[in-house]
Amino acid sequence: MNKKILITGGCGFIGLNFVNYILKNKKKISLRILDNFSNKNKKRVSKILDAIGFKETDGCQIIEGDIRDKKICKKSLEGVDEVVHLAANTGVNQSMKDPISDLNNNILGTLNLLECSRNTNIEHFVMASSGAPIGLGHPPFNEKKLPKPISPYGASKLSAEAYCHVYSKSFGIKTTILRFSNVYGPYSFHKTSVISSFLKNIILKKQITIFGNGSQTRDFIYVDDLISAIVQSSRNKESGGIYHIATQKESSINRIIQILKKEFHEKEDYSINVKKLDKRIGDVQRNFATINKAKKNLKFKPKISLVCGIRKTIDNFIEYKKYL
């Protein structure tokens, strides 16, 4: 084994896809997951880890614990070369209900991990951020836009970004901050994002709900494209840099429904039942980001089309139907 990567939140949606990617493509990397199973999905996670070939004896290890626990973080970082920091409170709505819990997990958790990484041999620390620090404005967004978050989640991610920058400039840890757009793909069964919740409802024969007329747009990125950006970022020379990881394409909710109708048309068992409700207060109409900086510095190039990514995600959701 040449390199050891610690993945915090490795049992979540993006974490499991990252683990899958490394096991398939980078045989010489060993993996350690640190996750507190706050998503309460142990049974499903262990089924997925089995299916993707994560065996605890094979350079793969899981530590059940919390990123806010200093002892656990120190133990988790032993012998580690790179950190992919994904663990977080991930929902805007959840952060609105409990901003303090959001702060604790996303700011103090990140700070604890960074602090435990000081005076170690960590070569690179990647932090998962989001478009939420940016706040309102006219898309496309880029890294130069002054962040003005409008949710506690956005504020906590912005603060965590700032600490990554501090630890890069003052303590010499090479950090990279990746602002993910709307990620979709396999193993996202528990997520409440548009594509995941639509798919789950269709497969469970429930109605899907659109708020407003469906013309609102988002920048949907397939998880494998996102993972290529995480992997490429370790070769990047800049430390403390922020990069938007997106597709630079805006797709409306109506377009997603159109794709789903076409894809499910050939599957006899499923039909799509759409319920329309009033537009939600605070829902932005358009959202997408430019990726020129990531293209240039990380050689990032998203490859998977929306149709192809949705098709792969449908197949995965149907395969795991009994775990939805």
Ligand X SMILES: NC(=O)c1ccc[n+]([C@@H]2O[C@H](COP(=O)([O-])OP(=O)(O)OC[C@H]3O[C@@H](n4cnc5c(N)ncnc54)[C@H](O)[C@@H]3O)[C@@H](O)[C@H]2O)c1
Does residue 36 bind ligand X (CB under 6 A)? yes
DSSP codes of every residue in 215-228: --EE-EEEHHHHHH
Does residue 317 bind ligand X (CB under 6 A)? no
- Minimum CB separation of residue 187 from ligand X in Å reads 8
Whichever of 64 and 123 has its CB closer to ligand X, that residue is: 64
Does residue 109 bind ligand X (CB under 6 A)? yes
Span of 31-39, 163-171, 300-308, 309-317 interacting with ligand X by CB under 6 A = 31-39
Long-range contacts from 261-269, C-beta under 8 angstroms, 24+ separation? 263/307, 263/310, 263/311, 263/314, 264/202, 264/314, 267/318
**Whose CB is nearest to ligand X?**
12
| 7, 12, 92, 95: residue in contact with ligand X (rule CB under 6 A) | 12
Alpha carbon of residue 186 to chain centroid: 12
Closest CA to 64 of 51, 79, 80, 46: 46
Span of 80-88, 115-123, 205-213, 266-274 interacting with ligand X by CB under 6 A = 80-88
Question: Rounded to an integer, what distance in angstroms lies between the CA atom of residue 232 and that of residue 248?
Answer: 18
Residues forming the active site: 153
Return all residues near 110 (Cβ < 8 A) that are at least 6 apart: 67, 85, 127, 160, 163, 164
The 155-184 site mask, x for binding ligand X (CB under 6 A), equals: -------------------------x-xx-
Q: Which residues bind ligand X (CB under 6 A)?
A: 8-9, 11-15, 34-39, 66-68, 86-88, 90, 105, 109, 128, 130, 180, 182-183, 191, 193
